[in-house]
Amino acid sequence: MVLGVSMKILIIVPAYNESENIVNVISSLKNQNNLWDVLIINDYSKDNTSELAKSTNNAYVIDLPANLGIGGGVQTGFKFAKKYNYDICLQFDGDGQHIASEIPKLLNPIINNSADVVIGSRFCEKRDNFKSTFARRIGIKIFEILNSILIGQKITDNTSGFRAYNKAAFHFLSEFYPSDYPEPEAVILLGKNGFRISEVFTKMQERQGGKSSIFGLKSIYYIIKVIFAIFMTAIRRKIIKRK
């Protein structure tokens, strides 16, 4: 048996008002590997994201009855994956930013059991090929420094939502996952609880449609809230004890 072939893999796609991208995202995932199950978490979209996703007949679609934000949405995916006994979860954003052909790079370290969590990073190899807003780059730098200090491991792309988790990691996160903008906090939470995190360089696309959920005043609130949450996560006791 080839390692990893029998593993059940779930691709979790959080989507809020992504009618422009969702069909392409699903077909790109299914074209990449038909054995992967795709789960769209429709976070109470105001457009027809859900209908479009269902019309492909290629994805499970969960329609949340109220808006939870990306953290609560992705966590719904973890709960679903736990319930249906998946082996690996991969978070793949619904805005067309992530590239399906890069997924195997994230899955391989999990399949070889060399990591519990793999983050697709825009920065860990070449630095200058991804354009981002000034505020966002500053935020990313702050998280990089903070997380390096707090868990003693340099993570270059703490805000990346392109991540793969093994069973232990997503079972843990199905119970404890931060809300709102969870990615940088989740790095600390996982690092602190002894999960092995690794980063691989992945190409990402400029967003094809829609607007980032973080801009303007909201981005300042975001940085303050997440930094505070990171510190609180760091001074909390370990939730689980691992060998």
Partner 1 sequence: MFLNFTINRVQIIAIVGSLFFFFFILQLVRKRRIKEEYSLLWIFFSIIFILISVWKDGLEFIARFMGIAYSPMAFVLIIIMAVILILVQFSMVISKLTEKNKNLIQEVGILKQEIDELIKKNNLQK
The stretches of the chain forming alpha helices (DSSP H) are: 22-32, 49-55, 69-83, 103-111, 134-151, 167-175, 183-192, 217-235
Strand duo 117-121 + 163-166: pairing: antiparallel
Binding to partner 1, residues 42-71 (CB under 8 A): 60-66, 68
Cα separation, 142 vs 148, whole angstroms = 10
Binding mask 8-47 for partner 1 (x = CB under 8 A): ---------------------------------x------
Q: In this structure, what token pair is assigned to residue 133?
A: 């807003």
Q: Specify the stretch interacting with partner 1 by CB under 8 A; choose among 77-85, 133-141, 191-199, 222-230.
A: 77-85
* CA gap 239, 216 in Å, rounded: 35
Binding residue for partner 1, selected from 12, 37, 70, 80, defined by CB under 8 A: 80
Rounded Cα distance between 236 and 194, Å, is: 14
Find the shortest distance in angstroms from Cβ 149 to partner 1. Answer: 27
x-or-dash string of contact with partner 1, 222-241, rule CB under 8 A: --------------------
Could you tell me the smallest distance in angstroms from the CB atom of residue 153 to partner 1?
29
By CB under 8 A, which span of 15-23, 78-86, 187-195, 211-219 interacts with partner 1? Answer: 78-86
User: How many residues interact with partner 1 (rule CB under 8 A)?
Assistant: 16
Q: Nearest approach, Cβ of 139 to partner 1 (angstroms)?
A: 25
| Phi-psi region at 4: left, alpha or beta (left = phi > 0; alpha = psi -120 to 50) | left
Q: To the nearest whole angstrom, how small is the minimum distance from the Cβ of residue 46 to partner 1?
A: 17
Q: What is the bridge-based pairing of β-strands 163-166 and 60-63?
A: unpaired
> Distance between CA 67 and CA 130 in Å, rounded?
30
- Of 83, 131, 211, 241, the residue at the interface with partner 1 (CB under 8 A) is 83
> Which parts of this chain interact with partner 1 (CB under 8 A)?
41, 60-66, 68, 72, 75-76, 79-80, 83, 179
